[in-house]
Amino acid sequence: LFSCRGGTSKAVLVDAGHYSVTDDGGVARIAQARCGDPAYYCVDGARLAAQPGFATAGGAEDARTTVEPCGGASVVCSGGVRTTVPPGYESVGGATAATRTHAVPCLDSRFFCVGGEAFEVEDGDYSVPVGEPRNATAECLPGFYCTGGALLPCPAGTWSDSIGLTRATQCTPCAAGLFSNRTAAT
């Protein structure tokens, strides 16, 4: 598209990364302006909004000329800006992993999240840190068993000095003549 500059009667091609600006009536194209906001890119004199899951690119930071898919599960794009997904968060939204739009905390004990992806926790392990966005696993501790990514205490009347237990039935019952009225005994 063109704009007419400086009152000339000649139309001037709008620069890359710019768009033509209209008068107050919205009809006459009287000038050009840099694309500006990273949520927009400018092509052929038009200012276009980046769709969710896409990032603006090309040209100067305030004069973007193209748009591209966000990239993969480890990044999300919103408002035309690409952001790395932090550990403990999963990227979601968008039609594919290449067009993810936002990140959500990984709080379900059955999963841990790294690189924007959620992975299931194996029995015998639990997800950490507990109560926060979970970004790793740890082997089940003595006095506990682990299933579904949760760290669960051996029941009262049992104990364990082993690591990696997966079921309460693997906790050792107290021998005859002994007892334990607390959980997670070692």
> What count of other Cβ atoms lies within 10 Å of the Cβ of residue 75?
20
The H or E element spanning position 19 is strand 18-22
Q: What is the pLDDT of residues 60-98, one digit of tens each?
A: 888 999 999 999 999 999 999 999 999 999 999 998 889
- pLDDT(136) > 80: yes
* pLDDT at site 11: 78
Whether 39 contacts 80, CB under 8 Å: yes
Asked if pLDDT for residue 130 goes beyond 90, the answer is no
CB 80 within 8 A of CB 74: no
Checking if the pLDDT of 13 tops 90, the result is: no
pLDDT at position 24, please?
76
Mean pLDDT (the chain, rounded): 91
Give the confidence band of 10 by pLDDT, cuts at 50, 70, 90: confident
pTM of the predicted protein model: 0.81
Map tokens 């840099």 to a residue: 34
Q: What is the mean pLDDT of residues 46-64?
A: 92
| Gap between the Cα atoms of 5 and 15, Å rounded | 12
